[in-house]
Amino acid sequence: MDWLDTAMQPTIDALRMIHREKLAHMYAGCFRSTWDTTLTRDGDTVFLITGDIPAMWLRDSSAQVYHYLPYAARFPLVRETILGLIRRQMQCIVLDPYANAFNRTPSDAHYRWDETGWTDATRPWIWERKYEIDSLCYPVRLAHGYWKHTGCTDFADSRFMEAARAILAVFTAEQKHMTASSYFFRRSMCPPSDTLPCEGKGNPVSENGLIWSGFRPSDDACVYGYLIPSNFFACRALQMLADMLEGPCGETGLARTARQLADAIASALTRFATVSHPEYGTVYAYEIDGLGHALCMDDANVPSLLSLPYLECLSSRDPVYQNTRRMLLSDRNPYYYEGTCCRGIGSPHTPRDYVWPIALCVQGLTSEDPAEIQCLAAMLENMDADTGLMHEGVHKDQPSRFTRPWFAWANSIFAEFIDYALPFLA
């Protein structure tokens, strides 16, 4: 019996005890998915593909292994694998902190003709150079979780410190994107969501203490440059980074810089992140520009507004979050869909009427309502199209219509949700 069987068996047994055989089967396949299908060990580092795209996203790779963290202290192989991934992620950040996805080798694969700030030395390693705040937050969250679960400080090497400085430098520069940042991104012959307007600099913003982001975690371009859920995530990630800099790294000065930046973002969020909604009162906006424009919506990709308690950015009982949640899970969110198969949040990244299992899992992971959690588990159980796995988006009326047959992040968070939901299913 390998470590996966040992780790999964208690949940599988519990599901079978309550006669949820299909859920037990799906849980087993989804729990194993990342480990069995996406990992490659390169020396002391680990490279993870997303599934059917042969590149490593900093965001996806972190989320793909997050459900393994509770087992890292018990199983040395899990600990070594996650450490190897953290080391690879830090290498990627040092190579180019503005890139979101990387090749395993310098193959020059994929978007080689984009106009952006890469160099002849860096471009062959980079799958895509879309600057997204969350790309720099997720590896910090993973490293912090590794430290807290295992007590190991072996991640805190010189490369980690170099990456930490790069993260702080990018976030500081992007607080003043219009005047202090050299980042731009232009792609030709593509949908508008795949490139940035205004000569690749994005639509204008007014400096207000928030961090500018070119793209959302969906890899779609931001309409307004201040992406509120990503700024919440950055604030939390900077607090985690400061903890690690003070503790394992022994860098109190740099930790102070990280905390000051987190405090500045928190202050700006307090002042600018909310809008008044005619039906739901004070809610968090999805994007703003500091010039009076705001988007009230949510996207299935994480960080999302719905996911803020899951990412430990605020309490699920925060009254503004609760107002926002009610709005997001209604037809006032243009990407909320209801059908005969499922109802939940989708994304402009996928076709209309496609609900994302990731969003349903996040909805469950941020709920304390047994009825809601039970309903979400039942919907997810019927959304696999008899594959035993999760997908990117699933048509609200026809589960046989789905995008991305091999999407490891969705599988991982499904396993995470089932472990959370188990007490509510009995």
Amino acid code (one letter) for 48: L
The structural domains of the chain, with segments of one domain joined by +, span 1-37+335-419, 38-327
Q: What pLDDT, on a 0 to 100 scale, did the predictor assign at position 110?
A: 85
5-9 — which CB contacts under 8 Å span 24+ positions? 7/31, 7/71, 7/75, 8/32
- pTM here? 0.97
Q: What pLDDT, on a 0 to 100 scale, did the predictor assign at position 173?
A: 98
153 Cβ contact list (under 8 Å, min separation 6): 147, 247, 248
Q: What pLDDT, on a 0 to 100 scale, did the predictor assign at position 274?
A: 98
pLDDT tens sequence for the chain (426 residues): 699 999 999 999 999 999 999 999 999 999 999 999 999 999 999 999 999 999 999 999 999 999 999 999 999 999 999 999 999 999 999 999 999 999 999 999 888 889 999 999 999 999 999 999 999 999 999 999 999 999 999 999 999 999 999 999 999 999 999 999 999 999 999 999 999 999 999 999 999 999 999 999 999 999 999 999 999 999 999 999 999 999 999 999 999 999 999 999 999 999 999 999 999 999 999 999 999 999 999 999 999 999 999 999 999 999 999 999 999 999 999 999 999 999 999 999 999 999 999 999 999 999 999 999 999 999 999 999 999 999 999 999 999 999 999 999 999 999 999 999 999 998
Q: What is the enclosing helix (H) or strand (E) of 57?
A: strand 56-57
DSSP code string of 69-102: GGGTTT-HHHHHHHHHHHHHHHHHHHH-TT-SEE
Options 1.50.10.10, 3.20.20.80, 1.20.1600.10, 3.10.290.10; CATH of 38-327: 1.50.10.10
CB 51 within 8 A of CB 37: yes
Q: What pLDDT, on a 0 to 100 scale, did the predictor assign at position 112?
A: 80
Q: What pLDDT, on a 0 to 100 scale, did the predictor assign at position 1?
A: 65
Number of Cβ atoms within 10 Å of the Cβ of 92: 26
Per 3-state DSSP, the chain is made up of helix, strand and coil in percentages (nearest 5) of: 45, 10, 40
- The greatest distance separating any two alpha carbons of the chain, rounded to the nearest whole angstrom, comes to 61
Q: What pLDDT, on a 0 to 100 scale, did the predictor assign at position 248?
A: 96
Amino acid code (one letter) for 182: S
Cα–Cα nearest to 133, from 79, 203, 58, 38: 58
